[in-house]
């Protein structure tokens, strides 16, 4: 479970002695440094690192970093909002001790996600992890709802020896092909060993559809832990690949054409520990609250896209009939609907039933994406929103009149269109607060401007190795 309370100057009660013991244990095992990780508004993982012995000082007083990264773009240029993007000021990074883990793929290193607070000891309003902690804490306090979440990870594996900037798939076999599994057998085995050593519960790993693509899914956790885990797993996938002479990319679209890399979110709501998506009187066992939650996610999806598909490259992936879920529709196990209702096997529904949200990729900051999807769902739940009729099959085949009659609409086809929908969405903006909401808008418009006039191939190339 995640500690949901904010860090405080001097450290949360008990943190300093715990960090002191941890630091000496890690040093004894040859861990030299600790990576302090967060994800910026653009979805880029940023880090600082400290020698292991500095851990107690870091949990007490934090580690300095400029707030300017909140409005960095993927190419490291900077945009501004009313309050962000200036060279002034400093924030303190506070490592989350309950998530600190020795990196099996990077001997000598440990890793921890951070919350960011000001020098005055206030939570930083631009901190996405703090945002998600608060959304989750508030849902529990106000509504008695808790969540289980998981983020799927798809990535492309390329040859490390490829010419700079190019992607040359490291495997040649077909989708889900046994040949691919054999070709990357040693890499995949080392990856599984590293993740197991880090306590990551992998559920599946397989060769996926696109050239060189693999996918990995992990067990569900509370949302903050699930977001932390998504960042950690990607760090490990990358680190192990390098040791095998491979280069990986989580970009939504390695190439302009074809199937992209998704980062589908799985989410279920619980009340008193009971899964609201199973054993109810609604469709496929959903309770009335779970149906309304799904209706809320569907209703806000066009605006959510600005958060869950944040890169110009995201819109190369978000195309019909490629399992990315680009229509505002839901269906049971329908892989072309944006929201897929997963019931799981008879006999295990209480554990397994959940919603999968598909128009999400791994350029998305996972804390912002989960927090906003939850805020959208809770808006549906608290307003008793009505879930429309389900669809079956590929909504791309509906004639325009049929699609209209069923309320099935294409999600935004460009980042500026998504931003327009986001700006008009008071529920998401309120959940994020003005500082984060303005940062999302400014960063997205900055990314759109950065690729203005580029053709699709150049857009794919511009982001190929950023995520
Ligand atoms: N690669 C697809 C995507 O872009 C997803 C395939 C799947 O359903 O796993 O989202
Ligand atoms: Mg997949």
Q: Per-domain residue ranges for the chain? A: 15-123, 137-463
Q: Which ligand is nearest to the CA of 215?
A: 2
Looking at 97-222, list the stretches that DSSP marks H as alpha helix, in order from N- to C-terminal side: 128-138, 178-183, 185-197
Ligand 1 within 6 A of CB of 262:
yes
The predicted model gives 436-445 an average pLDDT of 98
pTM of the model: 0.98
Ligand 1 within 6 A of CB of 335:
yes
What local confidence, expressed as pLDDT, does residue 262 receive?
Answer: 98
What local confidence, expressed as pLDDT, does residue 434 receive?
Answer: 97
Ligand 1 within 6 A of CB of 233:
no
Nearest CA to ligand 1 atom 4: 262
Q: HSE of 338 in the Cβ direction (CA atoms, 13 Å)?
A: 29
Contacts of 330 (CB under 8 A, 6+ apart): 294, 298, 337, 338, 339, 340, 341, 387, 388, 390, 391
Dihedral over Cα of 401, 403, 408, 410: its sign: negative
What local confidence, expressed as pLDDT, does residue 195 receive?
Answer: 98
Cα gap 51→339, rounded to integer Å: 44
List, as one string, the DSSP characters of 202-235. Answer: EEEEEE-SSTTEEEEEE--B-HHHHHHHHHHHHH
Please give the share of the chain, as a percent, with pLDDT higher than 90: 96
Distance of CA 159 from the midpoint of ligand 2 (Å)? 21
Assign domain 15-123 to a CATH class: alpha beta
Cα gap 245→160, rounded to integer Å: 5
What local confidence, expressed as pLDDT, does residue 173 receive?
Answer: 83
Please report how the helices 128-138 and 366-382 are oriented relative to each other, as an axis angle in degrees rounded to 10.
Answer: 30
Q: Determine the atom of ligand 1 nearest the C-alpha atom of 317.
A: 4
Q: Which two tokens stand for residue 51?
A: 């020698």
Pick the CATH number of 137-463 from 3.30.1330.10, 1.10.3720.10, 3.30.590.10, 3.20.20.140: 3.30.590.10
The predicted model gives 58-83 an average pLDDT of 96
**Counting Cβ atoms within 10 Å, is residue 192 exposed (0-12), middle (13-18) or buried (19+)?**
middle
Arithmetic mean of pLDDT over the chain: 97
Report whether pLDDT(322) > 90. Answer: yes
Report whether pLDDT(1) > 90. Answer: no
What local confidence, expressed as pLDDT, does residue 246 receive?
Answer: 98
Ligand 1 pocket test, candidate residues 156, 209, 316, 337, most atoms within 8 A of CB: 209
Cα gap 23→116, rounded to integer Å: 21
Q: Determine the atom of ligand 1 nearest the C-alpha atom of 325.
A: 10
Q: Which ligand is nearest to the CA of 356?
A: 1
Q: pLDDT by residue (tens digit) across 274-291?
A: 999 999 999 999 999 999
Q: Which two tokens stand for residue 93?
A: 């990074």
Ligand 1 pocket test, candidate residues 204, 251, 305, 322, most atoms within 8 A of CB: 322
């Amino acid at each position: 479970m995640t500690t949901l309370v904010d860090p405080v100057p001097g450290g949360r009660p008990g943190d300093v002695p715990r960090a002191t013991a941890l630091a000496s244990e890690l040093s004894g095992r040859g861990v030299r440094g600790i990576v302090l990780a967060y994800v910026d508004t653009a979805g880029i993982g940023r880090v600082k690192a400290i020698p292991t012995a500095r851990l107690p000082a870091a949990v007490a007083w934090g580690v300095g970093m400029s707030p300017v990264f909140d409005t960095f773009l993927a190419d490291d240029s900077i945009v501004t909002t009313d309050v962000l993007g200036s060279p002034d000021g400093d924030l303190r990074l506070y490592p989350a001790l309950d998530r600190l883990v020795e990196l099996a793929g990077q001997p000598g290193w440990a890793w921890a996600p951070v919350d960011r607070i000001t020098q005055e000891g206030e939570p930083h309003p631009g901190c996405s992890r703090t945002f998600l902690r608060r959304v989750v804490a508030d849902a529990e306090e106000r509504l008695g709802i808790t969540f289980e979440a998981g983020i799927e990870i798809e990535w492309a594996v390329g040859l490390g020896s490829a010419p700079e900037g190019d992607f040359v798939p490291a495997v040649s076999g077909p989708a889900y092909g046994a040949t691919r599994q054999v070709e990357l057998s040693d890499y995949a085995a080392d990856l599984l060993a590293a993740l197991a050593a880090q306590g990551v519960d992998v559920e599946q790993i397989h060769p996926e559809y696109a050239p060189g693509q693999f996918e990995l899914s992990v067990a569900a956790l509370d949302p903050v832990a699930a977001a932390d885990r998504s960042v950690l797993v990607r760090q490990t996938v990358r680190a192990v690949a390098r040791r095998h002479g491979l280069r990986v990319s989580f970009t939504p679209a390695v190439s302009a054409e074809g199937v992209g890399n998704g980062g589908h979110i799985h989410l279920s709501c619980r009340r008193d520990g009971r899964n609201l998506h199973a054993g109810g009187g609604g469709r496929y066992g959903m309770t009335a609250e779970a149906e309304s939650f799904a209706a809320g996610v569907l209703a806000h999806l066009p605006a959510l896209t600005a958060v869950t598909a944040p890169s110009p490259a995201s819109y190369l992936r978000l195309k019909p009939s490629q399992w990315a879920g680009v229509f505002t529709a839901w269906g049971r196990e329908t892989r072309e609907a944006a929201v897929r209702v997963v019931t799981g096997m008879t006999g295990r529904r209480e554990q397994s039933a959940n919603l999968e949200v598909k128009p999400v990729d791994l350029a998305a900051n996972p804390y912002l994406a989960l927090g906003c999807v939850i805020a959208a769902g809770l808006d549906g739940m608290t307003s008793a929103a009505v879930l429309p009729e389900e669809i079956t099959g590929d909504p791309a085949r509906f004639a325009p009149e049929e699609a209209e009659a069923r309320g099935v609409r294409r999600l935004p086809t460009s980042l500026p269109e998504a931003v327009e929908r986001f700006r008009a969405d008071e529920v998401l903006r309120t959940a994020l607060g003005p500082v984060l909401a303005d940062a999302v808008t400014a960063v997205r418009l900055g990314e759109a401007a950065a690729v203005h006039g580029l053709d699709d191939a150049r857009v794919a190339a511009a982001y190929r190795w950023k995520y």
